[in-house]
Amino acid sequence: MSEVPIQVLAFDDMMRCNVEDFLALSTELGEPMIEFAFMVKDAFDKSRMLIEFCLYNSAPENENEFFLSQPLTKALEVIQKFRDANPKNSAFYNHLSMISESIVALNWPIIKRTPTQFIKDMKESGQFYANRVLVSHKGNAKHTNWVNKWAQIMDEVELYVKHYFLTGFTWGAAQGGMLQPRLPPPPPPPPAPEFIKDFEAGDGGSDARQALINELNQGTGITSRLKPVNKTGSTGTKLEPGKKSVGAVKPQAKVYPPKFVLEGRKWVIEHQKDNPSLTLDNQMSESVAMYSCQSSFLEILNKINNIVIDSSKKVSIIIRGDVISCVEIIRCEGLKIQCEGVVPLINCANSDNIQIFVNEQSKHVQLIASKSSSLNMCMMQPDGDYVEYPVPEQIMSVIENGKLKSSVVDNI
């Protein structure tokens, strides 16, 4: 019997160190999370089976059809149905949604060339609900530890795929036994010096050898034919002080300390990174200026004057009260904003992958977008779910009857 492939052994280590801890933390939350946690474990078990099977077999003609027919797909469907069977106002709906949105990352074997990016996208899908859990159970260690453990599991899955399947799944890699990491071939030997080639050339080789010996016998006279060299360099060009012949070393980016202070009537929030618990208990006359933040969550509790978010990535914001003036989004990426009160205007410029969640009170917001892409408005329905409306990105212009006519190109 052949040994277990190293990729499967690494997967077992990941499950033993993380999934079992997740089961224990889910038990502390009680039902329905205990039952749900065992569904999650079953999905990881099916993922292990799939990896081992594919390592020992050649790729089928239709890979997509093969993966969709596997037990892993059915295990993920069970998780989705369990989430959907729970009311949206139930105590654990956000918990279930966090898992069901992100565990789809286990489908990474079907992704060609960039499986790690697929895993990152699925992690971000679940982060919105993770933030909701952290906010609604702020200060509760059981829920916080549970969320953090799942985030750790997703990070471990990404690292595992990055280490063993960076450019996609490798079918049949273990057909001959355990697959070891591939080592690069040894470098080729250096080419022979030109004068040796001349000596070994055959015809005329002895003449070339004798000519070299005659030149060496000249003693110091052999240097009479050497070209003079300028002291400043062989090219005669003087090097300027402070300049080096090698490329300049790129300086490291400066790391700024995080900032969360009230300056006058403006809350300045800057350089926050991986902070899931930013809460602002503000006054109506105050405003927010958020700059260069990343992978953080901000909750604005009260009615506020205006909000500006600039040069931030993967930030989630919940606005509990009304906004008097407007919300400005500038040079942002992967931003999610949930508006629970009245917001008259949102101005989005030079941004990408922005999601704006509105409810009955904020649905009349005016959205102005310029030089932005992947912008979506998500409207809450009576059942608590959201319907996504893509915002058009292109304008089509034609000349009709001597006049320029422009119209929106709707998203398909």
pLDDT, tens digit (0-9, with 9 covering 90-100), for 357-395: 999 888 888 888 888 888 899 998 888 788 888 887 766
Q: 119-167, pLDDT tens digit by residue?
A: 888 888 888 889 989 988 888 889 999 999 999 999 999 999 988 888 8
Whether 72 contacts 43, CB under 8 Å = yes
> What is the enclosing helix (H) or strand (E) of 338?
strand 333-339
Q: 343-360, pLDDT tens digit by residue?
A: 988 988 889 999 999 998
12-21, 42-51, 70-79: the lowest-pLDDT one:
12-21
> What is the enclosing helix (H) or strand (E) of 78?
helix 71-85
Whether residue 407 is predicted with pLDDT greater than 80 in this model: the reply is no
Whether 249 contacts 228, CB under 8 Å = no
Domains 6-165 and 259-409 share a fold: no
Domain ranges of the chain: 6-165, 259-409
Q: Which residues contact 168 (CB under 8 A, 6 or more apart)?
A: 111, 112, 113, 114, 115
The fold adopted by the segment(s) 259-409 is Pectate Lyase C-like (2.160.20)
The domain 6-165 belongs to what CATH superfamily?
A: Adenylate cyclase-associated CAP, N-terminal domain (1.25.40.330)
> What is the enclosing helix (H) or strand (E) of 50?
helix 33-55
Q: 291-323, pLDDT tens digit by residue?
A: 999 999 999 999 999 999 999 999 999 999 999
Q: Band the pLDDT of 335: cuts 50, 70, 90.
A: very high
Q: What is the mean pLDDT of the chain?
A: 80
The rounded distance, in Å, linking the Cα atoms of 73 and 201 is 67
Q: What percent of the chain has pLDDT over 70?
A: 77
Residue of 360, 359, 321, 357 whose CA lies nearest to 341: 321
Selected residue with higher pLDDT from 112 and 315: 315
363: alpha, beta or left? (left if phi > 0; alpha if psi -120 to 50): alpha
